[in-house]
Amino acid sequence: MAKVVVGMSGGVDSSVAAIKLLNEGYEVVGLFMRNWDSTINNDILGNPNDLNDICPQEKDYNDALSVCNKLNIPLYRIDFVKEYWDYVFTYFLDELKKGRTPNPDIMCNKYIKFDMFAKKAKELGADFIATGHYARIKDGKLLRGIDSNKDQTYFLSQVSKEQFSNVLFPIGDMTKNEVRKIADEYDLITASKKDSTGICFIGERNFKEFLTNYLPNNPGNIVNIDTNEILGKHSGLMYYTIGQRRGLNIGGTKERMFVVSKDLKDNILYVAAGDENKYLLSYACEIEDVNLLDDLPTKCTAKFRYRQKDNDVFTERLANGNLLIKYSQGVKAVTEGQACVLYDGDECLGGGIIKTIFKEK
């Protein structure tokens, strides 16, 4: 009987993943990952007794334990707090310092869930590892999850082909409604539990309030890019992303403004009003840290952010190992630091991190 170690998060998806594996005849073992020390946040923010306020991992662990007990499978617990800090959180801060928009969940999958977790699973005698991701693997190819609204291949784009070699995605061929229905039939504590959103280490905290503890605020001017008029003050360029409209706190303007660009040298946040296409459209980008899961065709599609529709693109390999991604139709608010993920139909081909944007055709 093949042994599968399942990443039990305390959510409904991993719970049902374990059920499906049991029903398919595998020997199933649960493994809970602790990736962030929520007491760090509370100590810094002056809430030493409020351990569930930031990232309620203890509740998640107890929920995972409840599910495993009900399914009669063992649950182990592993601490990756230091590794998460070194490989994910430090990356997150460094990218923000550069004025870019990072996606720490992508790096968590690459370095923690499909690397360090996999190594620990092997120590436990695993033939396979499994997670509750909405994705599929067929004939060695990474495919989108059947539920297009929940597909998570975007976040798996930096995981290598080798890392996927012994991975199972038991719920990739299910919809979220089907997953919840099974959890309800088994009367699991996670059946109606809300999905986690945002970044775990921030939790329900205000993003600015949290980040101030790690990166000092560096206020500067908010400037109208067309008139060069100073419209207000920003609290730090790291808090803004290209195309953002909300939270600019600009008074006295008749039109809604949106973020156009950041000037790190002079610490200026440029905004504009009017036709977004004039400022936000780009026609190509260079991506670095390229991770390909299959042969790359010249023509395919790309997502430049999660839940974005597919965009037709042409790919070109560069001498430095990066890829040039061209999209003659123009795409709004392609942003440095975000992931560009490439697809051929349902197959995820991998992707890279956006390094440079080109606004000329």
Do the Cβ atoms of 316 and 297 come closer than 8 Å?
no
- φ and ψ of 288, to 5 deg: -115, 180
Do the Cβ atoms of 5 and 17 come closer than 8 Å?
no
Pairing of β 141-144 and β 258-263: unpaired
Out of 68, 200, 285, 340, which one is annotated catalytic? Answer: 200
Whether the CA torsion 24, 26, 29, 35 is positive or negative: it is negative
Q: Which residues contact 46 (CB under 8 A, 6 or more apart)?
A: none
Q: What does the alpha-carbon distance between residue 224 and residue 237 come to, in Å, rounded to a whole number?
A: 15
Q: Which residues contact 326 (CB under 8 A, 6 or more apart)?
A: 283, 284, 313, 314, 315, 316
Provide the CB-side half-sphere exposure for 55 (13 A, CA).
18
Residue/partner pairs of 87-91 with CB below 8 Å, 24 or more apart: 87/111, 87/112, 88/35, 88/112, 89/36, 89/201
Out of 55, 68, 108, 300, which one is annotated catalytic? Answer: 108
Is 55 designated active site? no
Is 68 designated active site? no
Active site residues: 108, 200
